[in-house]
Amino acid sequence: METLDRQALASLLERPELRSLLEAFNDDAEETRIVGGAVRNALLGRPVTEVDCTTTMLPEAIIERAKKAGFKAVPTGIEHGTITVIVAGEPFEITTLREDVETDGRYAVVHFGRDFALDAKRRDFTINALSLGLDGQLYDYTDGVADLAARRVRFIGDARTRIREDYLRIMRFFRFHAEYADADPDPDGLAASGAERQGLTILSKERIRHELLKLLVARRAKDTIRILANYGFLTWLLGGAAEFGRLSRVAAYDKNEPVPIWRLAALAVMVEEDAERLRERLRLSNDEHKKLTAYARLLCLLKTQTSSVDAVAIRRMAADHDIEAIGIVVAATAGEPFPVVHADACEALERFRSGAEPIPVFPLRGADLIEGGVPKGPKVGELLARARQAWLAEGCRMDEAYARDLLGRVLGQV
């Protein structure tokens, strides 16, 4: 069992905007508490960036109370009982206490209530059901404090029942395990997830994608991805093979600023066709698909290099490819037979990534050729293409003397 940071709860309540909100929304008739992730993260000593609250007040009453206190109220999810209240520019989601009446694995029919315990017991995991009152009292109806201290993620009540209420909770179980747990997954939760995994098929691809990308940057992503593979989830999610070693190396490379889509690339992209498949399977955005494609092309380029990669080769690649993608592919393939990457290549890559050295930019434009006497038309493009090939082969120089010399050579071909 690990010590929890109780003092952090007191510090949370001292935040001026949050305290103003709670003081305005608590009186003899109504009660509002901080709930969920803010309480969990404060106890763990982690940063609290978003604060959600739950209240006995109905949505319309939340809006009226906010206006009376001089706060802005936005009905962001009024049909579900959620109002966003903005205090001095800081948003807080306040949701009326609820009880599930009927669920279909995706959506729930809820009734608003006034019982904090019932509201807590309808949530997914014990560590997410904690609430904190204005007076500093911590409320725990599901033994979430014990699970948090043990660094354990456990469903509230019967795991299969919780999952059947919303099948996305399978993905959330693995994602929260990856972020908050230290030991093996909770056996009941793991067994229930396996037994109910067919329910994932009724979920939208966007919801699956959202949880998978979050999981990939979680604290224990590597271990949890292997668990997903061992229990048959990963093949279904990706629709293809997985590269655990490359994921592990990229996770070590980008640990300070992890980017989910690059980790997905390292795990699941070997060729461009993989990028296409994942785009459809996970409903990736155009930008995410573009990154996977860039990774695939660079991977193919580097894996088929007949010569070792030195600083000059990196410079050429930087002129033609996204520098972050180059770094990810080099990290992913480190230690593999190919490519062979020299130390000076890694140093050059870091200079480009940090901005210490500018990315090479081809120094000629079509206008330069036209000014030199080349008629407008296809010939300009042909000559520029040849010039660019020469520029790449000669090390991507960008000084003015070289640009003049290159232009002279191009014009000499006319």
CB 268 within 8 A of CB 288: no
Quick one: pLDDT at residue 413? 83
Q: Does the pLDDT value for residue 109 go beyond 70?
A: no
Residues 319-353 as b or e (16 or more Cβ within 10 Å = b): bebbbbbbbbbbbbbbeeeebebbeebbebbebbe
Quick one: pLDDT at residue 3? 83
Give residue for tokens 């498949």: 277
- Give me the residues paired with residue 350 across strands: none
Question: What tens digit of pLDDT does each residue of 15-63 get?
Answer: 999 999 999 999 999 999 999 999 999 999 999 999 999 999 999 999 9
Quick one: pLDDT at residue 104? 60
Half-sphere exposure of 84 (CA within 13 A, CB side): 10
d(CA 31, CA 39): 17
Question: What tens digit of pLDDT does each residue of 128-171 get?
Answer: 999 999 999 999 999 999 999 999 999 999 999 999 999 999 99
Phi-psi region of 104 (alpha: psi -120 to 50; beta: other; left: phi over 0): alpha
Quick one: pLDDT at residue 305? 87
Quick one: pLDDT at residue 79? 86
Q: Does the pLDDT value for residue 5 go beyond 60?
A: yes
Q: What percent of the chain has pLDDT over 90?
A: 94
Quick one: pLDDT at residue 107? 64
Mean pLDDT score, 114-129: 96
Q: pTM for the full model?
A: 0.91
Band of residue 101 on the pLDDT scale cut at 50, 70, 90: low
In order of 103, 131, 189, the CA distances from 151 in angstroms are: 29, 18, 15
Mean pLDDT of the chain: 95
Give how far the C-alpha of residue 45 lies from the chain's centroid of Cα atoms, to the nearest Å. 21
Quick one: pLDDT at residue 223? 97
Mean pLDDT score, 304-326: 95
In order of 170, 212, 214, 258, 297, the CA distances from 278 in angstroms are: 20, 12, 16, 20, 15
Quick one: pLDDT at residue 80? 87
Of 129, 151, 108, 226, the C-alpha closest to 1 is 151
CB 200 within 8 A of CB 106: no
Half-sphere exposure of 128 (CA within 13 A, CB side): 18
d(CA 262, CA 324): 9
Question: What tens digit of pLDDT does each residue of 165-211 get?
Answer: 999 999 999 999 999 999 999 999 999 999 999 999 999 999 999 99
Position 118, amino acid: L
Mean pLDDT score, 62-89: 96
CB 145 within 8 A of CB 125: no
Band of residue 100 on the pLDDT scale cut at 50, 70, 90: low
Question: What tens digit of pLDDT does each residue of 352-392 get?
Answer: 999 999 999 999 999 999 999 999 999 999 999 999 999 99
Give residue for tokens 């948003």: 91
Quick one: pLDDT at residue 380? 96
Give how far the C-alpha of residue 185 lies from the chain's centroid of Cα atoms, to the nearest Å. 22
Please give the full DSSP string across 274-299, using - where no structure is assigned: HHHHHHHHHT--HHHHHHHHHHHHHH
Q: Does the pLDDT value for residue 106 go beyond 80?
A: no
Q: Does the pLDDT value for residue 102 go beyond 90?
A: no
Mean pLDDT score, 317-332: 97
Question: What tens digit of pLDDT does each residue of 217-245 get?
Answer: 999 999 999 999 999 999 999 999 999 99
Topology classification of domain 1-157: Beta Polymerase; domain 2 (3.30.460)
